[in-house]
């Protein structure tokens, strides 16, 4: 099979599984793919990036935006290793990322020849479906599109030839059958829902032990938030809604929504947790590791998010009638506490108008409820949820592995064919993904990148109280905006920064003293 035929076989297989977008990282070894994709008649939308890590994270956002798998095509050598972080995120978020890496022929392995590393199974720990091809066809018929895939393909020279037209409407045939199967590599945690019998037992134990439950609803990509909403409406106990659930502030849950779940465990006001969606971002979830409180997990991911819990149940079981019979013994007392804390929060936001949470509220005040927001890492997510009172209906975050990697790239993938978007990032997160702005050239949306520049990783300031953790700096983001030829502006909470057209970098500079005083009094 010639390199061109091999490349066409792979592209045809990907197209047959619903891939419509390809993110290309052009190089010499993946020339067989590029040759086909430079010709008229192929069915893909192409996006080009020079940085494989940024390309892979852009693909993560794009697949969440389009609800379809997306492939990244890399050349050989260390290029493919740059996609590892995105594969990790895709694995834990159950996203169908496909990495197609070009490789030198198998005979070069172990030789340290130029552009030759051990690419076979390089990503296998996080790509349950991994293929190593040199002339063989392969099949993705067993792939459930809930895990990443790695297709490593060995090309010998000559890499390009005159060839013929590639007809994607006709099946590709070869005399060499596939010898590669990956169905046994799917992790046990992703094999499907627990049996109804196991659920009934877990539910019985939960109901017998819990009199003051709390529901925690987190990220919603992978399922429809409206479907979850219809199930939560019938519950009669408090619900904490994280921003990425896309349900925060909904009127249908107004009588049950709480905003301040911290310290509820230690105060004895909650004795069990029902988790819905992705692994929660709030600190309370980590506190459960050192607690014996019962937990019921409902998620499409198959991951419990706790070392002590292993059972995860499908979202369909949220309809169980017993959950509608649950109540909270001290709900009135809890609502009174909520009201008191809400008044205290509003007072602090007025007293410290340049503290980070107050500036986050100001950003929210200027943004429309029905427009897309991406929360780029842990501190913006937590501050957003603390002060949000509007019903933002399009909120996303990438929290499968809780990493700082590729957050702006993912946001830009989400921005594909939207009218206007807002991404909020920490300063170190922004510095970590400066290459991401390369992808602005392919976006028609007005993308607003708000960077909270507090001079370092200040989420650790309150945790460790030592400067060595902070990565302190005195950098401005204005030169970065100038480099990428986009407007830069300093955020004034009294002025709407989102007016006008085009991309923007909005630098938010909190007052360090006010921020510290805010958190001291809030604690």
The length of the chain in residues reads 523
Are 426 and 379 in contact by the 8 Å Cβ rule? The answer is yes
Which pLDDT belongs to residue 40?
A: 86
Reading the block at residue 302, the tokens are 């198959």
156: nearest Cα among 116, 100, 105: 105
Q: List the 70-74 sheet strands across, edge first.
A: 45-48, 21-24, 70-74, 97-103, 149-154, 129-133
Exposure on the CB side of residue 122, measured as CA atoms within 13 A: 26
- Mention every residue, 6+ apart, whose C-beta is less than 8 A from residue 518: 348, 351, 352, 355, 356, 357, 358
Q: How far apart are the first and last CA of the chain?
A: 66
By CB neighbour count within 10 A (0-12 exposed, 13-18 middle, 19+ buried), where does 287 fall?
middle
H-type alpha helices, 210-257: 225-232
β partners of residue 448: 422, 504
H-type alpha helices, 352-406: 356-366, 378-387
Do the domains at 3-187 and 196-333 have one common CATH topology? yes
Which pLDDT belongs to residue 177?
A: 40
Domain ranges in the chain are: 3-187, 196-333, 352-522
d(CA 238, CA 267): 15
pLDDT in tens, the chain (523 residues): 899 999 999 999 999 999 999 999 999 999 999 999 999 889 999 999 999 999 999 999 999 999 999 999 999 999 999 999 999 999 999 999 999 999 999 999 999 888 889 999 999 999 999 999 999 988 999 999 999 999 999 999 988 887 677 878 765 444 444 444 443 444 444 444 446 778 999 999 999 999 999 999 998 776 778 889 999 998 999 999 999 999 999 999 999 999 999 889 988 999 999 999 999 989 899 889 888 899 999 998 889 999 887 789 999 899 999 999 999 999 999 999 999 999 999 999 999 999 999 999 999 999 999 999 999 987 899 999 999 999 999 999 988 888 889 999 999 999 999 999 999 999 999 999 999 999 999 998 899 999 999 998 766 676 667 777 778 899 999 999 999 999 999 999 999 999 989 999 999 999 999 999 999 999 8
β partners of residue 449: 423, 505
Which pLDDT belongs to residue 428?
A: 93
H-type alpha helices, 17-51: 31-37
d(CA 367, CA 202): 42
- For the domain covering 3-187, report its CATH number: 3.40.50.970
Query: Can you name the CATH fold of 352-522?
Result: Rossmann fold (3.40.50)
Answer yes or no: pTM beyond 0.85. Answer: yes
d(CA 363, CA 8): 47
Query: Can you name the CATH fold of 196-333?
Result: Rossmann fold (3.40.50)
d(CA 135, CA 347): 68
Which pLDDT belongs to residue 462?
A: 67
Which pLDDT belongs to residue 464?
A: 66
Which pLDDT belongs to residue 192?
A: 47
Which pLDDT belongs to residue 250?
A: 94
């Amino acid at each position: 099979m010639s390199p061109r035929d091999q490349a066409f076989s792979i592209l045809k297989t990907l197209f047959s599984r619903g891939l419509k977008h390809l993110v290309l990282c052009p190089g010499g070894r993946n020339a067989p793919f590029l040759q086909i994709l430079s010709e008229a008649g192929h069915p893909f939308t192409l996006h080009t990036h020079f940085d494989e890590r940024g390309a892979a994270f852009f693909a993560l956002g794009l697949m969440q935006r389009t609800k379809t798998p997306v492939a990244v095509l890399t050349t050989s050598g260390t290029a493919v290793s740059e996609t590892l972080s995105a594969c990790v995120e895709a694995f834990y978020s159950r996203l169908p990322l496909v990495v197609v890496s070009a490789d030198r022929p198998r005979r070069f392995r172990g030789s340290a020849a130029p552009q030759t590393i051990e690419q076979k199974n390089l990503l296998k720990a996080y790509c349950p479906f991994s293929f190593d091809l040199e002339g063989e066809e392969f099949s993705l018929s067993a792939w459930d599109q809930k895990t990443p895939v790695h297709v490593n393909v060995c090309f010998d020279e000559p890499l390009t030839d005159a060839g013929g037209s590639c007809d994607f409407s006709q099946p590709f045939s070869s005399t060499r059958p596939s010898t590669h199967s990956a169905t046994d590599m799917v992790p046990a945690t992703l094999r499907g829902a627990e049996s109804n019998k196991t659920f009934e037992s877990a539910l019985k134990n939960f109901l017998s032990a819990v009199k003051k439950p709390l529901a925690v609803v987190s990220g919603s990509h992978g399922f429809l938030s409206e479907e979850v909403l219809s199930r939560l409406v019938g519950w009669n106990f408090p619900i904490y809604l994280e921003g990425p659930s896309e349900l925060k502030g909904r009127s249908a849950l107004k009588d049950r929504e709480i905003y301040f779940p911290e310290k509820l465990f230690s105060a004895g006001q909650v004795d069990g947790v029902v988790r819905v969606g992705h692994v929660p971002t709030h600190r309370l979830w980590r506190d459960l590791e050192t607690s014996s409180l019962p937990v019921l997990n409902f998620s499409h991911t198959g991951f419990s998010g706790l070392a002590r819990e292993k059972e995860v149940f499908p979202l369909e079981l949220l309809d169980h009638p017993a959950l509608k019979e649950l109540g909270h013994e001290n709900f009135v007392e809890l609502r009174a506490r909520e009201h008191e804390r809400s008044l205290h929060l509003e007072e602090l936001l007025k007293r410290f108008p340049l503290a980070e949470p107050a500036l986050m509220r100001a950003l929210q005040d200027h943004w429309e409820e029905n427009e897309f927001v991406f929360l780029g890492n842990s501190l913006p997510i937590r501050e957003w949820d603390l002060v949000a009172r509007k019903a933002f209906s399009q909120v996303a975050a990438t929290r499968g592995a809780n990493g700082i990697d590729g957050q702006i790239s993912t946001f830009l993938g989400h921005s594909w064919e939207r009218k206007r978007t807002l991404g909020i990032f920490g300063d170190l997160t922004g510095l970590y993904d400066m290459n991401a702005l390369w992808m602005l050239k392919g976006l028609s949306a007005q993308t607003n990148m708000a960077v909270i520049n507090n001079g370092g990783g200040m989420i650790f300031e309150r945790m460790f109280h030592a400067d060595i953790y902070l990565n302190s700096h005195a950098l401005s983001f204005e030169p970065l905006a100038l480099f990428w030829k986009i407007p830069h502006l300093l955020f004034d909470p009294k002025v709407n920064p989102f007016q006008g057209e085009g991309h923007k970098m909005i630098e938010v500079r909190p007052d360090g003293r006010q921020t510290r005083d805010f958190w001291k009094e809030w604690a």
